[in-house]
Structure 1
Amino acid sequence: MPPGPMRRMARARRQRYWRAMEPIVNIVLPVFAIVAAGYLCGRRGLLGDDSSRALNSFVYWVALPALLFRAMATVDLDSIHEPDFLLGFAGAIVLLWTASILVAKFVFGRSLAEAALHGMNGVYGNTGYMGIPLAIAAWGEAAALPAIMATVIAALIVGVAIFLIEAGGRGAASPGRVALTAAGAVVKNPMIAAPVLGLLWAAGGLDLPVPVDAFTGILGAAAGPCALFAIGLFMVGKPTSEGRIEVGVMTATKLLVQPALTAVLVFLVFPADPLWAKVAVLMAALPTGAGSFVLAQAYGIYVLRTSSVILASTVLSVATVSVIFLCFPPGV
């Protein structure tokens, strides 16, 4: 082949590569930078010894419930006509979470509560803070709805995790009493009550009043950055090498196994609309979301390993999400 066409082909390949990398550089790297900023502030002692827990409590009780309520209240329920997307995306989560709980209990000797978080870390992605902007940047506004639906499913993951954590902390009580007590705790939990109220609002077909929309929007926007910053604060002085095998298993599950299984389900088993299928694979390939750390620190269990897997998966997702965009080029 003459040199001219070869150079044009090489230039076109470089352009496709940088087009795929641009959303990652613009969105994924700032996430890691927020964690790093929290770590540096913690190292300098700028915010005090209890700053991570205080910031996490703000996210748990105020910011994240506002985000979840607004996300659910503004969903157009009539526009959701993609059962194959729901079956494929949620099906991969159920299968992997179940397998991960069994691995955590019988391989790593974890309690049910810890195993629930171990499993959650392998399937709960950073869909809201990273996923929605990445999907829109890659495939336009049409990708917003499937990305939002993945975020709604992520809210359900939080609910199931809270139930399992509550059930796992009830000792030797009868199964019926454990289930009843755990269900009561779930109902009272702000991260469950908020999205349920939002769903009821959406089902009523009402628009959010402008002041409520602004209030929940401002508070909700703080949830992601504050949770990521709190992770950086928490990591100061912690032995990051502890539980390396567990962290590696959770990271591999989240970044490699979940997107691969999701791709099989949404493209082959439950063939979804091509755009929805691509968004499903992208959502599955995202790093572990900060919501896992919010739960871990709120309950005081599995905190170090959860923060470690969020950090590791966020760094490595630069490579794995790049592969997703090379397989499904932005704009195509």
Structure 2
Amino acid sequence: MAMIILGALIPVFGLILLGYGCGRFDLLGDRAFEVLNRFVIAITLPVLTFRSIARMDPTDLAQPSMMIAVVGGALATYAIGFAIEKGLGRSGGEANIAGLCACFSNTGFVGLPIALLTFGPDTVAPVAVTMLLYSAVVFTVGVVMSEMAANHGHGMAAGLKLAGRSVARNPLILLSSLGVLWCLLRLPLTGPLDVLLSTLAQATAPCALTAIGIFIALPRERSAPGPIARALILKLGVHPLLTAGFVLLLPPMPPLWAKMAVLMAAMPSGASSFVLAGKAGRWAMELSAWTVMLSTTLASLSLIAILWWLGA
């Protein structure tokens, strides 16, 4: 089991290390980090989300208990992380990134391989639904909060109007909505179009993780350990426990779906929080980059316990 987990985590470390090398030796130029980050948030992440949703079987969306457990566990963890950092004097934008670091799981790049190798091919449907919920619901909350924080100085009404306009034009939200419509109408997604979308979608994790490595290589002030430690505790401990609590309290769902809800919550922090961190400033970028890297490291141990608990 340990080798399965390490096998899924090594590519994450490898891409971060590659980015670090590129940044350390200036192989991609001084704007490489900014360009990669924009490429992910404007193109590859929305395409990945659209393709994941559009290719789903509409019947997989008929698992309300599982969907509530996934979203409830994530948003409850987000709220705790946000409230803690806001209470300690951080800005709304910074607290938003802290909440995302604590609740947004790396389901596609780490979660799916581990699920397939430990529980078999039947995990594809519940993991796909979980990926949909994190991308289309949880990340959308982060986008909305990011826009509201960015427009805070305009006054409450004007800020909400500007944030709503920005969210409505956000590529991720637009393509998520289109993906749901595509799925419900059972429209085909094949041929050259699907090949193009698949190629772009597969670039999301490599580009985001490489961008994190480049950022880590940049000159920096010393990172504050307190916020990072809080994010790690919330992500690897509180998030799966809250999700398990929702699973136990809600009406019964298929056992495998319940296990996948908890297992995906226990995954390390996804790089998507880093995509939004640039708007919140240097502190948020430091927090996100180190949380992604350290949660991935610590997950090599915590996931063994989670998988044993779930009966893998």
Structure-1-length-normalised TM-score: 0.88
The residue that corresponds to 2:12 in the other structure is 31
Alignment check: 8 A CA contact 1:128 1:151 kept? yes
Structure 1 residue 284 and structure 2 residue 261: aligned?
no
Structure 1 residue 133 and structure 2 residue 120: aligned?
no
Alpha-carbon distance between aligned partners in 1 of 2:13 and 2:153, rounded to the nearest angstrom: 41
**Secondary structure of 1:48's aligned partner:** coil
AA of the residue aligned to 2:109:
Y
- Alpha-carbon distance, 1:263 to partner: 1.6
**Secondary structure of 2:94's aligned partner:** helix
1:82-130 deviations in whole A, cap 9, x for unaligned?
Answer: 22211222111122211221111112x1111211111011000111221
AA of the residue aligned to 2:293:
L
- Alpha-carbon distance, 1:271 to partner: 3.8
Structure 1 residue 42 and structure 2 residue 38: aligned?
no
1:124-144 deviations in whole A, cap 9, x for unaligned?
Answer: 011122112221111111111
Alpha-carbon distance between aligned partners in 2 of 1:299 and 1:52, rounded to the nearest angstrom: 16
- Listed as ranges, the matches of 1:178-189 within 5 Å are 178-189=159-170
**Secondary structure of 1:306's aligned partner:** helix
The residue that corresponds to 2:90 in the other structure is 110
- Alpha-carbon distance, 1:241 to partner: 4.3
Alignment check: 8 A CA contact 1:238 1:304 kept? no
- Alpha-carbon distance, 1:300 to partner: 4.5
- Listed as ranges, the matches of 1:145-294 within 5 Å are 145-155=125-135, 156-239=137-220, 241-294=222-275
- Alpha-carbon distance, 1:78 to partner: 2.2
Alignment check: 8 A CA contact 1:38 1:229 kept? yes
Alignment check: 8 A CA contact 2:60 2:126 kept? no
Gap runs ≥5 in structure 1: 1-19
Q: Larger radius of gyration, structure 1 or 2?
A: 1
- Listed as ranges, the matches of 1:321-332 within 5 Å are 321-330=303-312
Relative distance call for 1:241 and 1:313 in structure 2 (3 A) is farther
Number of equivalences: 310
Structure 1 residue 144 and structure 2 residue 112: aligned?
no
Q: For 2:38, which of 23, 37, 57 is the aligned residue?
A: 57
Identity across the alignment (%): 32
Alpha-carbon distance between aligned partners in 2 of 1:171 and 1:264, rounded to the nearest angstrom: 35
The residue that corresponds to 1:91 in the other structure is 72
Alignment check: 8 A CA contact 2:94 2:280 kept? no
The residue that corresponds to 2:3 in the other structure is 22
Structure 1 residue 315 and structure 2 residue 293: aligned?
no
Q: For 2:52, which of 71, 93, 98 is the aligned residue?
A: 71
Kindly report the root-mean-square deviation, in angstroms, between the aligned alpha carbons of the 2 structures: 1.7
- Alpha-carbon distance, 1:238 to partner: 4.4
Gap runs ≥5 in structure 2: none
Alignment check: 8 A CA contact 1:87 1:270 kept? no
AA of the residue aligned to 2:287:
R
Structure-2-length-normalised TM-score: 0.94
Alpha-carbon distance between aligned partners in 1 of 2:94 and 2:171, rounded to the nearest angstrom: 21
Alignment check: 8 A CA contact 1:56 1:298 kept? no
Alignment check: 8 A CA contact 2:71 2:134 kept? no
**Secondary structure of 1:192's aligned partner:** helix
> Relative to structure 2, which stretch is displaced further, 81-90 or 282-291?
81-90
Alpha-carbon distance between aligned partners in 1 of 2:36 and 2:76, rounded to the nearest angstrom: 33
Alpha-carbon distance between aligned partners in 2 of 1:71 and 1:201, rounded to the nearest angstrom: 11
- Alpha-carbon distance, 1:172 to partner: 3.9
- Alpha-carbon distance, 1:327 to partner: 1.9
Structure 1 residue 306 and structure 2 residue 288: aligned?
yes
AA of the residue aligned to 2:234:
T
- Alpha-carbon distance, 1:42 to partner: 1.6
